[in-house]
Amino acid sequence: MKLKALLLVLAAAGALPLAAQADIGNGNGNGNGNGKALYSKDCMSCHRSIAGGDGSSLFTRPNRHVTSLGGLDKQVKRCRANTGLSLSDNQLKDIVDYLNATYYKFAK
């Protein structure tokens, strides 16, 4: 009984990284959980006030500023710094993954 439970836990742990990668690829932002939720909570309302709609046209407009994955990373850090948001680097990474998978689609 105990051994069976242990095996189940190990199997789940082994499966997790794969599931996380698939999620990032799907663009649903929940690789390690919550890029989409973090973005919606901390970032979206300001972009909405700049760009209208849900604000995402900032990411899809023809003259958007971000032109590479590295650039996306830098811009997200810039927005964090400018706005004094207390997001950890891991949380920022989740947000970058979400924005890239959903809007920018740069090759990794």
Interface residues with ligand HEC (CB under 6 A) are 39, 42-43, 46-47, 50, 58-59, 64-66, 72, 75-76, 79-80, 83, 85, 87, 95, 99
- Shortest Å, Cβ 33 to ligand HEC: 15
Nearer to ligand HEC by Cβ, of 23 and 59: the residue is: 59
CB 27 within 8 A of CB 101: yes
Q: CB burial class (10 A; 0-12, 13-18, 19+) of residue 46?
A: middle
CA distance 72 to 66: 6
- Shortest Å, Cβ 61 to ligand HEC: 7
Q: For the chain, give the number of residues.
A: 108
- Shortest Å, Cβ 17 to ligand HEC: 24
